[in-house]
Structure 1
């Protein structure tokens, strides 16, 4: 059985998602309107949504279902 290659993340998930969203938006700004630009903007929105979900899941008010 193969061993999984594991490594520790040096930044939080939120930081990585924010960096990726900013990178996508920056690259989209350089492109003319088209499918590639739309794809980059969609990915940036997905990253921002993932940041919101992560914040919600880590909020102290979150309770386990009963």
Structure 2
């Protein structure tokens, strides 16, 4: 069976950092904007995942 070496959340956070580093070295343009947008989406995903995993989460009423 395949076992992950690190927690998914941490891998996502690392990916966002890597995307931002790539964008830093690029001139302003479409590709740089795409990298920053992808990093932002990953950050949002991590935030939602943390919220969903929180012990205080209650079902909507």
TM-score by length of 1: 0.84
Q: Which runs of 5+ in 1 are unaligned?
A: 1-5
Q: How many residues matched?
A: 61
Q: Which of 16, 21, 34 is matched with 1:26 structurally?
A: 21
1:3 alignment counterpart: none
Higher Rg of the two aligned structures: 1
The 10-residue stretch of structure 1 (46-55 or 7-16) with the greater mean CA deviation from structure 2: 7-16
Deviation at 1:17, TM superposition (A): 0.7
The Cα of 1:64 is off from its aligned counterpart by 3.5
Query: Where do 4+ consecutive residues of structure 1 move more than 6 Å?
Result: none
Query: 1:53 offset after TM fit, Å?
Result: 0.6
Q: Any stretches of 5+ residues in structure 2 without a counterpart?
A: none
